[in-house]
Structure 1
Amino acid sequence: MERKLLHILRSLLGMNKDDHPPEADDANVDLIRVRINSYMLQQKPFLKPHYKLKDLADDMQMPLHQLSAFLNKRLGMHFTDYLNQFRIKYCEDLIKNEKPGRINLKELVTKSGFHNRNTFTTAFKKFTGKTPSDYIRNRLYT
């Protein structure tokens, strides 16, 4: 299975060295995307504060450069944004499930896998359009 995924990934990224036509189609892109997203949702490695692209490549048993190229070319985002979108979604779920008045921003930062509040706030605003404080305040009144 791993070899087939590596072959598909090489083909998708134009890294196939043989003379066969590339097998880049939407089904193959979706297969790799589903595999990576499933891993992220099930194992939640994004909750580790210093999780790196190399860590994901090792976990997925994929060459680092191929995973990076897949994220950049096929998903259209850098690893940091890919990781942070999972962190912010997780944070939104924490906020939605917490009782009003019991939400602590400092705890949200660490529980969501961020290592500092500035990075957390920047990412939160990028993916939700609101600061964490505004998001929480808005939740109280809806």
Structure 2
Amino acid sequence: MSQNAGGTEKKRYSLKPEKEEIIIERIKQWEMGKHYRDPRYNIDRFKEDVGVNKKYLSRVINRGFGTNFSGYINSLRLGYVQELIDDLGPGAIYNLTAIALLAGFSSYFKFSHYVKTAHGVNPTDYFRQKRAN
């Protein structure tokens, strides 16, 4: 155990690389179920679904995916939004608010905030750029 700035002991959670790979594999299996589309989905449900301690799960997400739980879930949701828009085909007219809600964002505001934070542009411009590529 190590001590933090306040002098209290802090547990260290270390994972062997083999265990981390098993957890990442479980997470990838979980992704196929698209449970992230539930706007109320949280890390407590995630740990139950994946069957891993919350501390280990947070560590694996941080190290393996380079983000925290919220960023990880929102990136999955954004990927799903992209899939839905791609499925509509070129030239289709779509409602980003409806698509964002289908993907699991609890509101257009939260969706827009995530896109702006992650990509520096509003959702309309982001998907216009994505479709142009």
TM-score by length of 1: 0.71
Paired position in structure 1 for 2:36: 46
- Residue in structure 1 matching 2:68, options 63, 74, 78: 78
State how far apart, in whole Å, the 2-side matches of 1:66 and 1:141 are.
40
> 1:119-138 alignment to 2 at 5 Å?
119-138=110-129
Letter in 1 for 2:51: Q
Paired position in structure 1 for 2:109: 118
1:95 aligns with 2:95: no
Task: Give the Å deviation of 1:75.
Answer: 3.6
Letter in 2 for 1:124: V
Unaligned runs of 5+ in 2: 1-12
Paired position in structure 1 for 2:98: 107
Task: Give the Å deviation of 1:86.
Answer: 0.5
Does the 8 Å contact 2:23/2:57 carry over to 1? no
Task: Give the Å deviation of 1:69.
Answer: 2.9
Letter in 2 for 1:109: A
Paired position in structure 2 for 1:24: 16
Task: Give the Å deviation of 1:60.
Answer: 1.4
Which digits, 9 at most, give the CA deviation of each residue in 1:62-120, with x for residues without a partner? 22232223323454321000101110111111111114242101111211100011210
* 1:34 aligned counterpart, secondary structure: helix
Q: 1:36 to 1:139 in 2, by over 3 A?
A: closer
* 1:43 aligned counterpart, secondary structure: coil
Task: Give the Å deviation of 1:129.
Answer: 4.8
Does the 8 Å contact 2:37/2:105 carry over to 1? yes
Q: 1:125 to 1:30 in 2, by over 3 A?
A: farther
* 2:70 aligned counterpart, secondary structure: helix
Unaligned runs of 5+ in 1: 1-12, 15-22
Letter in 2 for 1:68: S
- Residue in structure 1 matching 2:56, options 60, 66, 71: 66
Letter in 1 for 2:112: T
Aligned pair count? 121
State how far apart, in whole Å, the 1-side matches of 2:86 and 2:130 are.
8
What value does the CA root-mean-square deviation take over the aligned residues? 2.4
